[in-house]
Homo-oligomer: A and B are copies of this chain.
């Protein structure tokens, strides 16, 4: 008899139970990993165009079940039908885009040399374990960026169902498995396990060749450690997120009221439950930035409802810890006792409180932000230097005209984050060639990876060279005739594929 409670999802608006499901047993985890390993022997030789067709079949299925899925997700996440429907559409677009990226084939890095005769091509690494996030049940969920880029790259996926949207995860797995089977993909191309322990066992299973994770730093570190402790350590792409900064330059102060309004909209949207949420707002001394933000927060008056009880608790705990660290709570709104509600708040701190290791530089996941004023360029530079590395940062500057500080700040931030945005918000990352969603440790566990964008496929392949090998014994994609019509390099000369992914 187990005393561990069943994995269970709840309705955040009421706190009532929605879905409970047995956790996967060790035997079930092993079986899922084994099925993925068997699928891999077939998948690794399939053409990218073939996998593109499978991903399109999954996209079509999500599209066909859009309404049902949005309702399921809304019950378990309270993120709202509009936002969730848009997220399903983004997921559908992502599945199609990664399929096209696979077909274009740059991710294969195919290089053919005559002297010596070599053909180098990237191949799928093997089954990938995917841990989705609570806050994007579709696009970062069991069939989000990680799953679709892994399959596009030729790797089967075993996802871990997220407890916060367990019912949705189970339904998605059903739809994905059916769509893949109907499209002719091997059994085991996608599988799922349920429960925390099952997830850890999955990471430790010898058939798993890489891990993708989106979530908290504690969770990401635990998964990363488990993977490093294996007899054969495997790469872990954990997107853990930290605090994303916004810098307003002196030249932009005349627009501070509207910038503050945009900031509040951004950090309170979806109750601030974004890894890309801006959490720290730098404005020049004397700009009265905290008051501007507080006014905007008062006007917006959000009533945050969090994804889980644990997140709601951590918002309150985070606010208390930040107060202890010397930050003043300028305004706190939305306190409520329904379901998983939590307050929204703006805090203010003297810039002297921005020191290495300060609690103010750690993420508080929720509609909470800290405002600080810097004296001058040196003071700002010092504060940015002690910040943890992050996913994203934003700089506000006039659209045109002089601004001496902005280029320096952009340069400094580019050393610490994966993406720097000018005059825009840190949230909102869609898959494209130019997108980078990653960053140095501890924003992620691998500074070279991106969990969103065309380059996300690169995470799951490894190169193999074939030397002096008969044409007919080469992997199909590496042959001279270029049967897959992929981008390649022959004796140093790049030959772009006729298939362009946009």
Once A418-B465, A462-B447, A469-B422 are accepted as A-B contacts, the answer to whether A112 and B434 lie under 8 Å apart by CB is: yes
The 8 A CB mask of A429-447 against B (1 = contact, 0 = none) is: 0101111101011100111
Residues in A445-498 with C-beta less than 8 Å from chain B: 445-448, 450, 453-455, 461-470, 472-473, 475, 487, 489, 491-494, 496-497
How many A residues, CB 8 Å from partner?
A: 74
Once A420-B469, A447-B235, A492-B433 are accepted as A-B contacts, the answer to whether A440 and B414 lie under 8 Å apart by CB is: no
Does A228 touch B at the CB level, under 8 Å?
yes
Contact A414 B448 (CB under 8 A): no
Copy number in the complex reads: 2
Does A71 touch B at the CB level, under 8 Å?
no
Residues in A111-151 with C-beta less than 8 Å from chain B: 111-113, 116, 118-120, 123, 125
Contact B410 A473 (CB under 8 A): yes
Contact A232 B442 (CB under 8 A): yes
**How many Å from the CB of A49 to the closest CB on chain B?**
17
Does A501 touch B at the CB level, under 8 Å?
yes
Contact A463 B473 (CB under 8 A): no
Residues in A387-418 with C-beta less than 8 Å from chain B: 389, 406-407, 410, 414-415, 417-418
Task: Specify which chain B residues have a CB less than 8 angstroms from the CB of A454 in the assembled complex.
Answer: 111
Contact A463 B468 (CB under 8 A): no
Does A83 touch B at the CB level, under 8 Å?
no
Once A410-B473, A422-B469 are accepted as A-B contacts, the answer to whether A118 and B494 lie under 8 Å apart by CB is: no
Task: Specify which chain B residues have a CB less than 8 angstroms from the CB of A417 in the assembled complex.
Answer: 464
**How many Å from the CB of A37 to the closest CB on chain B?**
11
Determine the distance from Cα of A120 to Cα of B467 in the docked complex, in whole angstroms: 33
Once A422-B469, A423-B468 are accepted as A-B contacts, the answer to whether A463 and B438 lie under 8 Å apart by CB is: yes
Contact A434 B232 (CB under 8 A): no
Best-surrounded residue of A418, A430, A447 (most CB of chain B within 10 A): A447
Chain A residues at the B interface, C-beta cutoff of 8 Å: 44, 104, 106, 109, 111-113, 116, 118-120, 123, 125, 228, 232-235, 389, 406-407, 410, 414-415, 417-424, 430, 432-436, 438, 440-442, 445-448, 450, 453-455, 461-470, 472-473, 475, 487, 489, 491-494, 496-497, 500-502
A-B contact pairs, 7 of them (CB 8 A): A119-B434, A120-B433, A410-B466, A419-B467, A434-B465, A436-B463, A436-B465
Known: A410-B466, A448-B461. 6 other contacts (CB 8 A): A120-B455, A235-B447, A407-B473, A414-B475, A450-B463, A493-B500
